[in-house]
Structure 1
């Protein structure tokens, strides 16, 4: 069964990109005839791992005569595949092209909805204020002039309404939708007014991280770890505010983003030891940080799934996670970590103190976290379930 996996990174290499590439690699290991269609960033480590695989480039959807001719050839190429998986997200114009021309064989494996169109409806926030990459991505797909126009204050409300119309039109033409969490499944059914609740296939961590989790890294460090872009939605500011109530709480954050300067200023003002690590460019570096942290924190204001608590669990680390979205499906409150309101800084601080003050509690929760991840969230299990949904 020839299978196409289509993914476009939105200006950064994050959890969605890691899962898409890991699914592709795992399906190929299962002897599935899969081809990856990709545009956007790929880390050096993944570039090495993908050597020898058939990776195709997704053409630009900027509506020029030359690009339209290229897109027609691209759609003809995709028509040779029995099934097409849109993995997480693609440019909305590409989604529309696929839905209108190849919708009967297109499956959307959703990690979120089209956030520019729906963010105001979800969180009440203007997507431009919480996305570090929307301007860059818009320019990449549609050119600087058109992107600047549609994101300008004068027409942004109309842009959002048009984006919703295009998004709904595309989604309703897909042959199937698969969600990456029960939370997201219910959400997709509601906003797209679907007749059926989409099935759920949980993502899994990179098998290389799973292998590295058995490596003997040197001891436990003295820091709490967050793996997150530095944008308002991920609520690193909330982590700092909670940590300010906890003596000796040291916070390390892996990621980059628009809030770096303001977060450093906030930490300085509240006297919180904060180290902004930047992006990790290898699985080994990320594995070491997980292995040596005391515990992991994930406090997004909204998160459809949340891969990092799964990754932390591999390394026997408890997590303090948001109750807004999919993370409560990963963490068992009081057993493998704690589930909190991401704006309740007093309660977050209390949970930080409990974990910081008790090596025994950290160890017990960490052991249970790894056991749960290996039982429910492996990449092999995820790929098999995704393939079963494609074939059903």
Structure 2
């Protein structure tokens, strides 16, 4: 039987009851997650416009109210309601499939989408939800999509598992292939699709044979830091601080950056690199140190994960930002760095060129090319005037295109078009 959706007509000043469904939401245990940060910014932006927001998110922690990041500001008109859920497989499954991680992964994902359907059904009924905003990643709303008389579902498509498994990962996984098929089904069945760049839209449409007209382009947005300090172009620096923020993994190009660092330091010894993010089992750090010994210990600092306050300080104190991702559907880290008035270096891949305006707000290297990346770092490190100009232009670009308020307004406009 064909599913149906329910909705109501909205005026521009109507209050909309929105439920955000996400596999990740920022907590004190989770900092560097693009999906988590996106929905945090969206929830707060929608709330500041006066709309009612509920956030249903998955966590493996036993959270208290103090663990979940909640923003309260003068602009906050209504409260954001947070609904954490956790999924644990029965012991007999854990025991019966011991050592078969692929089967356990798929079973946990299926259990999560079924539990999400149950909890979401209760929230929709209790709070009279008008629209559901979610992500294709982890396809949490897949089971709920088949429910009759439900609210409309808007799905934001980030980097898909199909892209990861095909082009941008070190290994091929059967479990990821299965999950990718489920994600594709989620994308095809969703009532409305959004994404953040034209390049990513085109790739997704080609992968899943979807008409481009189904997508609305709404870039990510962030809360702009209010107090920032631009580098003075006429003042030479005793040292240059280069910052990286992101997971230590193949797709993020951390291996390329670690190959480029010695090339940079051999030519300019006043550069210091600060590397922020989770390095599982410290593999990348240990490989770097095993290869180079103590030669670069004073110039390369592996920080690990940090809280929001420390990350704010690091963005403020760096002189330029670099991340050599092999693929990003958008690249929120570049927007964050630009919001602090910092010049940025990324790669010519995915949606990154739509975020970084080349030679205006930053430089673009060839993906996977450590020599080209090193040249870009040296160019910015050696030119204070260029860093100053790009930093100023980057901040203006974020204010114009990538603010939290702009993202929230475009999202509401998108709802007003699709809600009957």
Shorter-chain TM range is: 0.7 to 0.9
Query: 2:171 and 2:141 mapped to 1: Cα distance?
Result: 23
Partner of 1:130: none
Query: 1:390 and 1:309 mapped to 2: Cα distance?
Result: 28
Partner of 2:387: 362
Native 8 Å contact 1:119 1:125 kept in 2: no
Query: 2:67 and 2:401 mapped to 1: Cα distance?
Result: 26
Residue 261 to residue 359, structure 1, CA distance change in 2 (3 Å): same
Deviations 1:236-256 (A, max 9, x none): 221121121123232111111
The SS at the match of 1:199 is strand
Query: 2:118 and 2:394 mapped to 1: Cα distance?
Result: 48
Query: 2:375 and 2:415 mapped to 1: Cα distance?
Result: 44
**More RCO (CA 8 Å, sep 6+):** 2
Q: 2:46 aligns with which of 3, 15, 27?
A: 27
Aligned alpha-carbon RMSD (Å): 3.1
Partner of 1:144: none
Native 8 Å contact 1:306 1:327 kept in 2: yes
Residue 173 to residue 353, structure 1, CA distance change in 2 (3 Å): same
Partner of 1:57: 84
Q: Which sits farther off after the overlay, 176-185 or 195-204?
A: 195-204
Measure how far apart 1:50 and its partner are. Answer: 6.8
Measure how far apart 1:338 and its partner are. Answer: 0.4
Query: 2:405 and 2:305 mapped to 1: Cα distance?
Result: 26
Give TM-score scaled by structure 1 length: 0.80
Partner of 2:226: 211
Partner of 1:233: 251
Partner of 1:109: 156
Partner of 1:142: none
Q: 1:318 aligns with which of 329, 343, 363?
A: 343
Query: 2:365 and 2:116 mapped to 1: Cα distance?
Result: 49
Task: Say yes or no: does 1:348 pair with 2:373.
Answer: yes
Deviations 1:184-220 (A, max 9, x none): 211221112112341211111234xx2243699xx97
Measure how far apart 1:227 and its partner are. Answer: 0.6
The SS at the match of 2:396 is helix
Partner of 1:263: 285
Structure 2 gaps of 5+ residues are 1-15, 74-78, 90-106
Measure how far apart 1:4 and its partner are. Answer: 0.8
Structure 1 gaps of 5+ residues are 128-155
Partner of 2:193: 177
Query: 1:366 and 1:18 mapped to 2: Cα distance?
Result: 23
Q: How does 1:39-188 map to 2 (within 5 A)?
A: 39-40=58-59, 47-49=69-71, 53-58=80-85, 60=87, 71-72=117-118, 74-78=120-124, 80-87=128-135, 89=137, 91-92=138-139, 94-101=140-147, 105-113=152-160, 115=161, 117-123=162-168, 125-126=170-171, 156-157=173-174, 159-188=175-204
Q: How does 1:248-327 map to 2 (within 5 A)?
A: 248=269, 249-258=271-280, 260-267=282-289, 269-270=291-292, 271-272=295-296, 273-282=299-308, 284-327=309-352
Measure how far apart 1:322 and its partner are. Answer: 1.3
Partner of 2:405: 380
Partner of 2:76: none
Query: 1:180 and 1:277 mapped to 2: Cα distance?
Result: 30
Measure how far apart 1:296 and its partner are. Answer: 0.3
Residue 244 to residue 204, structure 1, CA distance change in 2 (3 Å): same
Deviations 1:341-389 (A, max 9, x none): 1222222111111111121111111111111111111111011111211
Query: 2:133 and 2:230 mapped to 1: Cα distance?
Result: 34
Query: 1:354 and 1:268 mapped to 2: Cα distance?
Result: 28
The structure carrying a bigger helix percent of its residues is 1
Query: 1:173 and 1:34 mapped to 2: Cα distance?
Result: 24
Give TM-score scaled by structure 2 length: 0.75
Residue 357 to residue 215, structure 1, CA distance change in 2 (3 Å): closer
Query: 2:363 and 2:305 mapped to 1: Cα distance?
Result: 26
Partner of 1:190: 206
Q: 2:260 aligns with which of 235, 238, 242?
A: 242
Measure how far apart 1:268 and its partner are. Answer: 5.7
Query: 2:375 and 2:166 mapped to 1: Cα distance?
Result: 32
Query: 1:312 and 1:161 mapped to 2: Cα distance?
Result: 34
Residue 255 to residue 44, structure 1, CA distance change in 2 (3 Å): farther
